[in-house]
Chains A and B, each alone.
Chain A
Amino acid sequence: MHDRKARRLVEATLVDGITRAEAEKAEAEWKPYLEEQLKRMAAEGVPKERWPQHGHWDWRQKQEVADAYLAYRMFGIECQSQMQGLMLVLTAGKDCRIESQKGKPMAYVHFLAAAPWNLATVAPDPRFSLVGSILVATAIHLSIEEEFQGRIGLHSLPQADAWYRNSCGMTDLGRDHAVQDLRYFEMTAEQASEFLK
């Protein structure tokens, strides 16, 4: 991962298969930090555009799903004994929509989030970057392992739209009315290969 303050890469661990204890610890650390920062932002009168667009997901519940279903895999990035990002991926039941790969299976990123102290919209001094890149790369590697050739898909939260489109080179298939009008992004095998270069 990249330590923003020290301006260098630091050692991190990709955890494949988050345990209940790890999910509980992450929630126990993420939630109070987020609450504290939201209070601060309200007190400081931070303008609307700079607020985060969502609160906090229940990662414990997601971990239980990953534990119980073969189709779900859960990953985390651990650095300095704290979970810096979490991701839940679905590996069955979601097919590609881009015409050139329509109907082919993909690894669908069901949820992806960085710890709140890493978010520019929440933390006064975000600690680490590369959470998004590492987790997207992980999803691609999982897709390859599953023989989906790197194809992935996800519904982006609005603040991340531009990043998936421009920085990851994913195809923006527009608003999905079936999923809260969130924009749906998909990656072809070629785009995935390009991303990993």
Chain B
Amino acid sequence: MKTNLSKEWLTKRVERDEKADVSAGMLDLGRLQAEPPTARVESIQASAETENLHPAFGRLINLWRRKRGLRMDVLANRAQIDVTELIEIERNLHYTPEPRTVYQLAKTLELPSERMLELSGNLVVRDSSLGEEAVRFAARSESVEKLSKDEQRALEEFVKFLSEK
């Protein structure tokens, strides 16, 4: 494919690009549906795990917040994030929050930020154990007003796992 970009053209574009952070594409990781059957197992697993992580992230925030008896608006205020984004995180299983939001939540809820970035879909995960634990956690926790003993146990174990790595 021929792409002759002249020096003059490049120089002209320099000014226009100066302050631009250019990017395009869906926010979700691993959302490219066209997975070939010949793709390596590791890659298919990694992508499946990315899909599995989103529900676990929202569920984690939800349970952690309820364990501390915090309303959504109170947590949003403390974490200095938009309450609408917090609602999305907890209710929309496929939502990928912005990196800053993840950092702020991690700080406020005292959870490890790097793992939270992975769990939220902001960083690529190569550690298969995170995916496995996330699925297990999401499956064990259910949305009820007060945390049940099982939910509490599931939450504690998952947080312990996140903090250990």
Do A and B touch (CB < 8 Å)?
yes
Interface check A167, CB cutoff 8 A = yes
B5 touches A137 (CB 8 A): yes
Q: Is the CB of B34 within 8 A of A65?
A: yes
A55–B26 touching, CB < 8 Å: no
* B2, CB-defined interface residue at 8 Å: yes
Residues A58 and B29 in contact in the complex (CB < 8 Å), given A2-B14, A14-B3, A64-B40: yes
Question: Which of B5, B23, B27, B36 has most A Cβ within 10 Å?
Answer: B23
List 8 contacting pairs A-B, 8 Å CB cutoff, sorted by A: A48-B80, A54-B27, A110-B32, A130-B10, A154-B25, A160-B20, A180-B26, A180-B27
Q: How many A-B residue pairs have CB under 8 A?
A: 182
Cβ-based interface call for B35 (8 A): yes
Determine whether B111 belongs to the interface, using a CB cutoff of 8 Å to chain A.
Answer: no
Q: In the complex the two chains form, is A65's CB within 8 Å of B36's CB? A: yes
Shortest CB distance B105–A (Å): 11
Residue pair A163, B22 in contact (C-beta under 8 Å): yes
Do the beta carbons of A159 and B24 come within 8 Å of each other? no
Given A9-B11, A61-B46, A130-B13: A160 in contact with B29 (beta carbons within 8 A): no
**Highest count of chain B CB atoms <10 Å: which of A60, A61, A163:** A61
- Total count of chain B residues near the partner, CB < 8 A: 51
Most interface-central of A64, A68, A197 (chain B CB within 10 A): A64
Residues of B within 8 A of A51 (CB): 98-100
Q: Are the CB atoms of B16 and A54 closer together than 8 Å?
A: no
Cβ B10 vs Cβ A72 within 8 A: no
Q: Determine whether the beta carbon of B36 is less than 8 Å from that of A159.
A: no
Quick check: is A155 within 8 A (CB to CB) of the other chain?
Answer: yes
Minimum Cβ distance to chain A for residue B50 (Å) = 7
Q: Does B117 contact A (CB under 8 A)?
A: yes
With A69-B36, A145-B1 known as contacts, the answer to whether A55 contacts B121 (CB < 8 A) is yes
For A34, give the chain B residue with the smallest CB separation.
B123
- Count of chain A residues near B, Cβ 8 A: 68
Q: Is B145 an interface residue (CB 8 A)?
A: no
User: Quick one: given A110-B32, A129-B14, A180-B28, are A56 and B20 in contact (CB under 8 Å)?
Assistant: no
Contact A69/B24 with A54-B99, A129-B18 known, Cβ cut-off 8 Å = no
Is B62 interfacial (CB 8 A cutoff)?
Answer: no
Q: How distant is B22 from chain A, measured CB to nearest CB, in Å?
A: 3
Which listed residue (A58, A120, A129) contacts B50, Cβ 8 A? A58
Q: Does A171 contact B (CB under 8 A)?
A: no
- Contact A61 B17, CB 8 Å, known A9-B7, A112-B23: no
Contact A196 B9 (CB under 8 A): yes
On chain A, the residues within 8 Å of B19 by CB distance are 120
| Residues of chain B within 8 A of A61, CB atoms compared | 30, 32, 39, 43, 46-47
B20 lies within 8 A of A42 (CB): no
Q: Is the CB of B124 within 8 A of A159?
A: no
CA distance A135 to B30 in the complex (A): 22
Give residues 8-57 of A contacting B (CB, 8 Å): 9, 14, 16, 27, 31, 34-35, 38-39, 41-42, 48, 51-57
Question: Chain B, 93-106, contact with A by CB distance < 8 Å: what is the 0/1 string?
Answer: 00010111001000
User: Do the beta carbons of B17 and A109 come within 8 Å of each other?
Assistant: no
Chain B residues whose CB sits within 8 angstroms of the CB of A154 once the complex forms = 24-25
